[in-house]
Chain A
Amino acid sequence: MIDTETLLRRAERLSESTGLSLTTISRKLLNDGKGLARIKNGGGMTEKTLEQASRRLDELEVAETPRAKGLLSPEAMTHLDRLEAESIHIMREVVAEVENPVMLYSIGKDSAVMLHLALKAFYPSKPPFPLLHVDTTWKFREMIEFRDKLAERLGLELRVWTNQEGVKAGVGPFTHGSAVHTDIMKTQALKQALDHYKFDAAFGGARRDEEKSRAKERIFSFRTADHRWDPKSQRPELWNIYNTRTAPGESIRVFPLSNWTELDIWQYIARENIEIVPLYLAAKRPVVERDGTLIMVDDDRMPIHEGEKVEEKMVRFRTLGCYPLTGAVESEANTLPQIIEEMLLSRSSERQGRVIDHDQSASMEKKKQEGYF
């Protein structure tokens, strides 16, 4: 037969693993909520009571183990758990307070994580907002394929918006340059879509570690009726209490991934087994080297200049955008750990592969003031 000390120890362990309070366990073992506490303070009990308590404890241990109940026992919260919880909190807040939210879905890794978090936040409901993809018509074909399959598999409402005036005018990166193309097909298109559907809040996957003006932006970031950001008058944002009130016409950009780093994103993708576009993994792809950047020949709209050669190379992408504006890196990494390894060894930031960020200094802040996400 067990002694009182063992009984106490086992009861405490049970309490820890199940979350049942010691009082509850005490009541179940001894018909007295304070019984265990009394023993702990040196109180004794009769052998008969002890025997009965020990039998009940055996039963309780079997019945209450999480496994017996089919329950998951979470470990102490890790850094990723905290980030996850923070993002979920932000998304729920928007859904609770804003009338017509939308999630900007850009098909990249950050969007993949953001969408995954939304599935968690509202489970068992589906995320109560549509996805919006601003299609410049110059995205990698694999991205579009991935997007359509995913939306169908998850049964989510996907809205695709293209600036039709831009299409009519034949705007593209090769003919008009990256700045004009990005402005018309991305920034203006986004504004059109938000105005058209009257979305008053839009989730975006931007992270503060991406770029130095992003590091300054609030999680809830306000835009005037003409979609301008005023970095000089951001609202205070204390604790996790968010002021979501807007005047008519104003809207909010919400960044649930603000506090995630690139490494966090990849680790989370690995941990949660999140599906990503295969372009992130190395494969043989046709590329041309242009101004020191490897550009993939994704379709026949890409003009090949004199002296240029299309080569099959093992490459992958650190970020995804319009194919003519996204530099590939030569790489053999085709598993997640290998990608992470390469990222950790790399001495350049992920945005370096983006042609648009190099156009002018302070370009991101300026673009955002003009309505870029």
Chain B
Amino acid sequence: MSDVFKDGDDIHEYLATHEKKDMLRFLTCGSVDDGKSTLIGRLLHDAKSIFDDQLETLGSDSKKFGTQGGEIDFALLVDGLAAEREQGITIDVAYRFFSTEKRKFIVADTPGHEQYTRNMATGASTADLAIILIDARHGVLPQTKRHSFICSLLGIRHVVVAINKMDIVDFREDKFREIEEAYREFAKPLGFKTITCMPLSALKGDNILTKSPNTPWYDGAALLPYLETVDTSRDEEQPFRMPVQWVNRPNLDFRGFAGTVVSGRVAPGDEVVILPSGKRTKVKSIVTREGDLAFADKNRAVTLTLEDEVDASRGDVIAAAAQPAEQAGQLQAKILWMDDEEMLPGRQYILKSNNRMIPAQITDLKHRIDVNTLEHLSGKTLKLNEIGECNLSLTQRLVFDPYSENRAMGSFILIDRLTNHTVGVGMIDYALRRSKNVHWQAVDVNKDSRRKMLGQKSAMLWFTGLSGSGKSTVANLVEKRLHDLGKLTYLLDGDNVRHGLNRDLGFTDADRVENIRRVGEAGKLMVDAGLITLVSFISPFRSERRAVRERMEDGEFIEIFISTPLEVAEQRDVKGLYAKARKGEIKNFTGIDSPYEEPENPDIEIDTSEVAAEKAAEMIVEYLDRNGYLEG
């Protein structure tokens, strides 16, 4: 059964058959301590994939860290991190390789602890089959269900339910049947194509390589023979797709589009369409270092040249012209959340899919999914390891196919802009109708559509108060926070405007009025553009502030009064202006020889002599959040 090469065998023959063997990628998953790592260690050992020196190390490691009282602990073959060996658990996925006469295998041994679910998902995303382990003593546990659900979500169609530790329950058939039944009942809605249950003892080796005499009542196959023959091929024919990964331009005469064919087949002469632009052309050649190819199939990494000088760049998708992929800016997808910090609807993340990075936000969490009952739960956020169905809004259109039709074209990851963590992964279900319309019939582009795209309600935050009261400091902090939340902002500050737009204005009352009028109009254009616009101006006259407010729509003008008293502002005197004004070196200085008219009904009032600037900024952002400004 194992493909150990023996002295005297013909090496050329061996290599020829070895190269043609097909390959199965599978993972082991299930609840903590169910014996996943032990099973893989056992398989590697019995398939003779362990070298003598490694076996020796295993022997001494088992004495040191083993859970088997000094006997061989096979889990130590795969639990390769120091922390794992010390704690006797798996923390991260291990990839191991072995082969038999019939097949090659890549196994991902994944952790059972709920805390490390994202590492399990990592291992599952590239697998064709899952071995789900269940401890015969404990039966189906929540984590068994969670992992099964994730396998199904990621598109795994074949599972082996390994009911393990049968040695501890005296190889009793009733135990086995009971668990089998419970599992099959639970898994019905998961859509697996095959579910195969086996009674095993990973530790003792029962039903691993050959049928065990301890389970005469079991009439199925042993594990390894089953893995050698199970057919996991997907026969659906998919149209050609190749996301452009890199544009190859060694000189002006050559322009190649490098990428991996993710589905279908491509050949010279084929009509293709570049998405999202929609330009059509034909494939001229498939260039490789060994020579041009007559065609290229799924999974091959190639470089295409095209008949026409069409524009295509990284992230564009070259697709069969007759069956192009969809494109949309609004999607529905299932998301598995992977970060300790919870998912926040409205917050901007970076979505990476098909070699593109697009700012995106979750506009709506439709529901969470209870992994135990598969019921839909309502909720506002997704916490670590939770799964939900969400609506997403992207700032650019994404070219995609639904995940169920095309795994490569329908998957994405979400990246946090600040920590750069991969915070979530998603599988696209379909485009929301709205965006299909957006694509085909150009809608009016207006304030509303821009706000939707940006995921925010634009408004003008008008900071008014004495010189030195802390307007700019607070405004700056507010802008930073909004920026961190992925909001698009702009800060109009007295100083930056007076150096440009209002360079021609002085400090007479008339000039002050004109100054405010212009700032108000500039701010209004920005609000129309969809920006959260921060204006930080002394703006001492009530009437001018009112004039600006009246030019805006309801709720678009938020007056923030920084009410720090004159004494405090004068004491701070950051720019030394009060001193000069007192000496008469500056004329018409607000608070000294020019009046400041306090707002009567400010939306927000903050005295920075009492509230720290950080706290003030937080209050303002909270106000915006509470009043819906941070959603599209």
- Tell me the A residues contacting B by CB distance below 8 Å: 17-21, 24, 66, 69-74, 76-82, 84-86, 88-89, 92-93, 95-96, 119-126, 208-209, 211-216, 231-232, 234-241, 243, 245-247, 258-259, 261, 263, 267, 270-271, 337-338, 340-341, 344-349, 352, 361-362, 365-366
User: Once the chains are docked, how many angstroms separate the CA of A85 from the CA of B300?
Assistant: 6
The yes or no answer to B7 lying at the interface (CB within 8 A) is yes
- The residues of B that contact A348 with a CB separation of less than 8 Å are 51-53
Given contacts A125-B248, A231-B83, A231-B92, contact A236 B118 (CB under 8 A): yes
User: Once the chains are docked, how many angstroms separate the CA of A80 from the CA of B97?
Assistant: 14
The stretch among B181-189, B265-273, B482-490, B552-560 that forms the contact with chain A is B265-273
Q: 9 more A-B contacts (CB under 8 A) besides A74-B294, A85-B299, A352-B51?
A: A70-B291, A71-B291, A78-B19, A85-B300, A96-B355, A212-B80, A235-B422, A240-B260, A337-B11
- The residues of B that contact A78 with a CB separation of less than 8 Å are 19-20
- The residues of B that contact A246 with a CB separation of less than 8 Å are 420
State whether A72 touches B292 (Cβ < 8 A).
yes
User: Once the chains are docked, how many angstroms separate the CA of A69 from the CA of B291?
Assistant: 11
State whether A239 touches B53 (Cβ < 8 A).
no
- The residues of B that contact A247 with a CB separation of less than 8 Å are 420
Given contacts A345-B5, A348-B51, A365-B81, contact A241 B420 (CB under 8 A): no
State whether A236 touches B267 (Cβ < 8 A).
no
- Tell me the B residues contacting A by CB distance below 8 Å: 4-7, 11-12, 14-15, 18-23, 51-54, 57, 61, 77-78, 80-83, 85, 91-97, 104, 106, 118-119, 121-122, 125-126, 245-246, 248-250, 254, 256, 258-260, 265-270, 287-297, 299-301, 303, 314, 338, 350, 352-353, 355, 407-408, 411-413, 415, 420-422, 425
For the complex formed, measure the closest distance between the CB of B240 and the CB atoms of chain A, giving whole angstroms: 10
Closest chain B residue, CB of each to CB of A233: B421
- The residues of B that contact A337 with a CB separation of less than 8 Å are 11-12, 15
Tell me which of A123, A231, A237, A366 contacts B287 (CB under 8 A). A123
State whether B294 touches A362 (Cβ < 8 A).
no
8 tightest Cβ-Cβ pairs between the two chains A and B:
A19-B267, A212-B80, A19-B295, A344-B5, A66-B294, A238-B125, A88-B301, A71-B294
Closest chain B residue, CB of each to CB of A261: B97
State whether A212 touches B53 (Cβ < 8 A).
no
State whether B11 touches A341 (Cβ < 8 A).
yes
State whether B411 touches A238 (Cβ < 8 A).
yes
For the complex formed, measure the closest distance between the CB of B112 and the CB atoms of chain A, giving whole angstroms: 16
Given contacts A238-B122, A243-B415, contact A124 B248 (CB under 8 A): yes
State whether B294 touches A237 (Cβ < 8 A).
no
Can you show 15 pairs from A to B with CB atoms below 8 A apart? A21-B270, A71-B268, A73-B294, A82-B299, A85-B300, A93-B355, A125-B248, A215-B94, A240-B408, A245-B420, A259-B95, A267-B18, A344-B14, A361-B57, A362-B85
User: Once the chains are docked, how many angstroms separate the CA of A123 from the CA of B258?
Assistant: 10
User: Once the chains are docked, how many angstroms separate the CA of A80 from the CA of B259?
Assistant: 18
- The residues of A that contact B22 with a CB separation of less than 8 Å are 79
State whether B291 touches A216 (Cβ < 8 A).
no
User: Once the chains are docked, how many angstroms separate the CA of A21 from the CA of B270?
Assistant: 8
For the complex formed, measure the closest distance between the CB of B249 and the CB atoms of chain A, giving whole angstroms: 7
For the complex formed, measure the closest distance between the CB of A85 and the CB atoms of chain B, giving whole angstroms: 4
User: Once the chains are docked, how many angstroms separate the CA of A21 from the CA of B322?
Assistant: 11
Tell me which of B5, B6, B294 contacts A69 (CB under 8 A). B294
Given contacts A85-B301, A232-B83, A349-B54, contact A237 B122 (CB under 8 A): yes
User: Once the chains are docked, how many angstroms separate the CA of A365 from the CA of B259?
Assistant: 34
User: Once the chains are docked, how many angstroms separate the CA of A123 from the CA of B266?
Assistant: 19
- The residues of A that contact B355 with a CB separation of less than 8 Å are 93, 96
Closest chain A residue, CB of each to CB of B14: A344
State whether B293 touches A340 (Cβ < 8 A).
no
State whether B54 touches A20 (Cβ < 8 A).
no
Tell me which of B18, B291, B352 contacts A243 (CB under 8 A). B352
Tell me which of B21, B353, B422 contacts A79 (CB under 8 A). B21
State whether B301 touches A84 (Cβ < 8 A).
yes
Given contacts A267-B18, A352-B53, contact A79 B420 (CB under 8 A): no
User: Once the chains are docked, how many angstroms separate the CA of A77 from the CA of B246?
Assistant: 23
- The residues of A that contact B85 with a CB separation of less than 8 Å are 362
State whether A20 touches B267 (Cβ < 8 A).
yes
Closest chain A residue, CB of each to CB of B85: A362
For the complex formed, measure the closest distance between the CB of B305 and the CB atoms of chain A, giving whole angstroms: 10
For the complex formed, measure the closest distance between the CB of B152 and the CB atoms of chain A, giving whole angstroms: 15
User: Once the chains are docked, how many angstroms separate the CA of A34 from the CA of B53?
Assistant: 64
For the complex formed, measure the closest distance between the CB of B540 and the CB atoms of chain A, giving whole angstroms: 43
State whether B15 touches A267 (Cβ < 8 A).
yes
User: Once the chains are docked, how many angstroms separate the CA of A241 from the CA of B413?
Assistant: 7
With a 10 A CB-CB cut-off, give which of B245, B294, B412 has the most chain A CB atoms: B294
Tell me which of A121, A235, A245, A340 contacts B15 (CB under 8 A). A340
State whether A238 touches B294 (Cβ < 8 A).
no
With a 10 A CB-CB cut-off, give which of A120, A209, A235 has the most chain B CB atoms: A235
For the complex formed, measure the closest distance between the CB of A363 and the CB atoms of chain B, giving whole angstroms: 10
State whether B245 touches A71 (Cβ < 8 A).
no
- The residues of A that contact B81 with a CB separation of less than 8 Å are 213, 216, 231-232, 365
State whether A267 touches B19 (Cβ < 8 A).
yes
Closest chain A residue, CB of each to CB of B421: A235
State whether B294 touches A349 (Cβ < 8 A).
no
State whether B248 touches A341 (Cβ < 8 A).
no
User: Once the chains are docked, how many angstroms separate the CA of A216 from the CA of B297?
Assistant: 31
For the complex formed, measure the closest distance between the CB of A318 and the CB atoms of chain B, giving whole angstroms: 12
User: Once the chains are docked, how many angstroms separate the CA of A84 from the CA of B300?
Assistant: 9
State whether B5 touches A92 (Cβ < 8 A).
no
User: Once the chains are docked, how many angstroms separate the CA of A239 from the CA of B82?
Assistant: 27
Given contacts A239-B126, A243-B422, A347-B51, contact A96 B245 (CB under 8 A): yes
For the complex formed, measure the closest distance between the CB of A220 and the CB atoms of chain B, giving whole angstroms: 10
For the complex formed, measure the closest distance between the CB of B234 and the CB atoms of chain A, giving whole angstroms: 15
Given contacts A238-B411, A267-B18, A347-B52, contact A72 B267 (CB under 8 A): no
- The residues of B that contact A81 with a CB separation of less than 8 Å are 299-300
With a 10 A CB-CB cut-off, give which of A93, A119, A338 has the most chain B CB atoms: A93
User: Once the chains are docked, how many angstroms separate the CA of A366 from the CA of B53?
Assistant: 20
